[in-house]
Amino acid sequence: MSRSDLKVSRRVLHRVLTVFCLLFLTSGCAFGTRYATLGYEPLSTTPAQSARHVTLSVAPLKDQRARPAVVGHVLNTWGMKTAKVVAKNDVAAWVREALVDELRRAGFTVVEDSANPLSVSGAIVNIDCESYFTYEGTASLSVQLKRNGTVLLDHVYTGEESEGLNWAATARSYAHVLESALRSAVLQIVHDIERVLAEHPS
């Protein structure tokens, strides 16, 4: 092999290696299960509103997802799922705590007593975050509000969040995006509960 041919071969090899490295980096380290601790903080730092003198019971939410612990996936450069994102904590409890927190901040008294006249129940339809070049998170919840067994509200709420560039597909980033998506869904729920109770005060 001549020197010119050798130089060409080296250039080709260098380009191939460069492309491979870029694909590896942009895939966000696509392999290996991520274990995310899901948290929730209210968006507003202002104190909760004064009591509305309205008591709601909030039942534990049912989880309708096939794999309750899985909350997302890592996608490689070609958009294929290569790794799971698994929640370290209980997803249904995380969702309920977020809903209870926002209801209390809106001034409601929240109890677990199933005999309470006003009750909120529901189910988790979808909690999912995928990362390709950005993080795309979704939280979908089916919620019912009843007064003495009569349905006042029955709706599916969806919160979505898209954030940042995915460089490493970290568990912390997944948790942050899912928190934002859940907050969006929960705030919609609280808004509708306030609206419905204002329309049906008794």
Q: Measuring CA to CA, which residue among 109, 123, 128, 114 is closest to residue 155?
A: 123
Q: Give the distance from CA 25 to its chain's centroid.
A: 25
pLDDT of residue 201: 87
Residue 161 has pLDDT above 70, yes or no: yes
Confidence class of residue 191 from pLDDT cuts 50, 70 and 90? very high
pLDDT of residue 52: 76
Taking only the tens place, the pLDDT of each residue in 32-72 is 899 999 999 988 767 677 677 899 999 999 999 999 999 99
Q: Measuring CA to CA, which residue among 60, 193, 63 is closest to residue 114?
A: 60
CB 25 within 8 A of CB 76: no
Do the strands 135-147 and 118-131 form a parallel or antiparallel pair, or are they unpaired?
A: antiparallel
Taking only the tens place, the pLDDT of each residue in 91-141 is 999 999 999 999 999 999 999 888 899 999 999 999 999 987 789 999 999
Q: What is the CA radius of gyration of the chain?
A: 23
CB 50 within 8 A of CB 108: no
Residue 158 has pLDDT above 80, yes or no: yes
Q: What proportion of the chain, given as a percentage, has pLDDT over 70? A: 79
The boundaries of the domain holding residue 179 are: 3-199
What's the predicted TM-score (pTM) here? 0.81
Say which CATH number the domain at 183 has: 3.40.50.10610
pLDDT of residue 134: 85
Residue 4 has pLDDT above 70, yes or no: no
Residues 6+ apart with CB under 8 A from 86: 33, 34, 35, 36, 69, 70, 71
Total domains in the chain come to 1
Q: What single letter denotes the amino acid at residue 117?
A: P
Compute the average pLDDT of residues 9-17: 44
Residue 70 structure tokens: 């899985």
CB 128 within 8 A of CB 177: no
Q: Measuring CA to CA, which residue among 36, 42, 61 is closest to residue 119?
A: 61
